[in-house]
Amino acid sequence: MEDRRALYNDYAHELDHEVAESVIAIRSELTAALKRLLEKSEAAPCLKSMRAVCREYLDNARHRGRVGPFSYMTELGKLRAMIGVQIAYLAVKYGIDVEGELARAIPADLRDATFLEA
């Protein structure tokens, strides 16, 4: 997911339709990863959670124009926070270094852990 700018780019540089395309790609990657995992895998609930928040983001996209200009940023922030927490959990659980821009998706209070490289 490190190449998915929707997870970390500045809000001012994001376009709603491009973010939606990226979220669709993320959801597809998560679905493919879930198919490779055993159902009892400890990673499966994290991937399912990330996939669910992607689906919620896309479902809410239909209503964004009707609720005001800040809805897009709110929904994107929620998506990033939810995915960031799951990435942090997986990184700790499996000893994965989260590098570069993807580390920005992890909430600030979780970034201080030693498994993250800025």
Q: 59-80: b or e for each residue (b if 16 or more CB lie within 10 Å)?
A: ebbeebeeeeeeebeebbeebb
Range of lowest pLDDT (46-50, 51-55, 58-62, 83-87)? 58-62
* pLDDT value at 114 more than 50: no
Determine, yes or no, domain membership for 118.
no
CA pair distance 79, 4, nearest whole angstrom: 13
Strand partners, 116: 98
Residue 51 placed within a domain: yes
Is residue 57 a contact partner of residue 72, using CB atoms and an 8 Å limit?
no
- What one-letter code names the amino acid at 73? M
Give the number of domains in the chain. 1
97 occurs within a structural domain = yes
Whole-number Cα distances in Å, 29 to 24, 26, 48, 82:
9, 5, 11, 17
Is residue 48 a part of any domain in this protein?
A: yes
- Name the residue with tokens 């919620």: 56
pLDDT per position as a tens digit, 7-22: 888 877 777 888 889 9
Domain presence at residue 115? no
- Is 83 inside a domain boundary? yes
Structural domain span for residue 42 = 5-110
